[in-house]
Amino acid sequence: MAQDTTRNPTTGAVPPILQELWQLLAAHRPAVRQARVFDRLRGLVVGQVCAVVRHTVTQALAALGLVDTDPGAFYRLLGRNRLDYSVLTRCYLRETLAVVPASGPYVAVVDGVQMPRSSRTMPGTSWVPCPRTPCFAKGSHRAQFFVHLAALLPRWQGYSRALPLRLDPAFSAKAVPGAAPSQSEAQAASSQVAWLRGELDVAERREQLLLVVGDAHFDTIEGWRQLPARTVLLVRTARNRALWRLPPAGSRSTRRYGEQAPHPAEWVSRTDDWQFTTVCVRGRTVRLRYRVEGPFLRRGVAARPLLLIVVSGSRKAKGRYRRRREPAYFLVNAVQDASGAWVVPLPLATLLAWLWQRWEIEVAHRQMKTDFGVGQIQCWSARSTVLAVQVQAWTYALCVLAGYRAWGYDRHPRLTRALWWPGTARWSMATLWRGFQLAFAQCAARHPSRAAPRGTWQESESWLQRLDHLLAASLVA
């Protein structure tokens, strides 16, 4: 369908979304040492955005018109020590600070993600539960397992987006060796949280709280023990989690735990002390009933008081169907107020609102693997099988951040739609890819692949440099 760009006119020789992408790419220049390697990295990013069928290295070169070009140099970018991933993630984190204000908490989400593989000898692969099999007949498949740390953009009308910060391998001890040292999902998540807290401190945001939201896989003893200072961990817990109260007043100094508290599921049947609040979720208002109990202790973490948040379930009739939401239980580390009482570190309405946004990382997983093809690059060496996934996830994060900086949530070019559907409130990933392709087509420096089906890498390098000059001229003007 035709696309109406009158609400977002193109200014200058470079469209706004392409300006943001090019500025973000320039901010990641310290991740590589040589200029020609940086040009190949930028060319790979453009090829990944413009690829249509599959998002492999050869398809990215074909999208650039480099049909007869040897892809060996691009594979060496991923298989050898050409790119520093730690610097790449640090540069990207610094760019997210411009869109996340320091007045509130820096919200991050951590979750595990699988990259399906068909090989039994690829480094890092192992047998893991297959999510595509039904719940009554669980199966397994070969895959690489990663832990994904993502930042959440500020909420707008109940919307948010997940920006991938890091994608670290969490290969089991039974995985094919060679790719990375084996570690558990919780260990990788603890390392990522410590890295994020340290980077925020270096970026002069020591006073800003870090709020990390996770599912029940990260409710571990090691995770609570290794939690950095000025960090709030909000995770889902089991309905039968064993919790203990604090030692009673006047007990001996060596006593670490009080009596055992009721299990989280036992609080649902009580009728007193329930509170109500409303949360805006994707343009609609959701009414929640919750209660806060504690402080409690977990066996093995006596120095970390925790508060239990119980959100009751609901039954809602929609037409002839009835929708049911089961009760949910969450643990959050408590802080002491001026009177010495243990309280939640942030308002309950804020915590519950961000709990709803945890699903954005699941949406990002679907978009990364299905729409953007993360994990489709064909690499076989121990280094490239990990770095290729990380670079593709970084490219996806780069495009999403560029779209947010250029369009916000709702300033995207509108499509000419029928009367029964005016379009979504925020832009979708299909709108983002269409916007990038339209920007490349409208740019004053047209790529040589638009004029001829075949080209050389020298022509692509000269196109990248012309785009640099056009962007610099538009910024000066």
Beta bridge partners of 245: 296
R_g of the chain computed on alpha carbons: 25
Q: What pLDDT, on the 0 to 100 scale, is given for residue 460? A: 81
pLDDT in tens, 138-189: 899 999 999 999 999 999 999 999 999 999 999 999 999 988 999 999 999 9
The more confident residue out of 396 and 319 is 396
Q: Is residue 454 predicted with pLDDT exceeding 60?
A: no
Q: What pLDDT, on the 0 to 100 scale, is given for residue 475? A: 64
Tell me the whole-structure pTM to 2 decimals: 0.92
Q: Is residue 311 predicted with pLDDT exceeding 50?
A: yes
* Residue 135 to residue 138: CA distance in whole angstroms: 6
Q: What is the DSSP string of 11-36?
A: -SSS-HHHHHHHHHHHHTGGG-SSHH
**76 pLDDT band (50/70/90 cuts)?**
very high
Q: What pLDDT, on the 0 to 100 scale, is given for residue 437? A: 87
pLDDT in tens, 181-238: 999 999 999 999 999 999 999 999 999 999 999 999 999 999 999 999 999 999 999 9
Three-state SS string over 396-440 comes to HHHHHHHHHHHHCCCCCCEECCCCCCCCCCCCCHHHHHHHHHHHH
Amino acid at 232: V
**412 pLDDT band (50/70/90 cuts)?**
confident
Beta bridge partners of 414: 4
Domain boundaries, given as residue ranges, for the chain: 3-82+415-476
* Residue 465 to residue 477: CA distance in whole angstroms: 18
% of the chain residues with pLDDT over 70: 91
% of the chain residues with pLDDT over 90: 68
Q: Is residue 6 predicted with pLDDT exceeding 50?
A: no
- For residue 383, how far is the Cα from the chain centroid? 22
Residues 266 and 243: beta-carbon distance below 8 Å: no
Q: Is residue 376 predicted with pLDDT exceeding 80?
A: yes
* Residue 210 to residue 189: CA distance in whole angstroms: 14
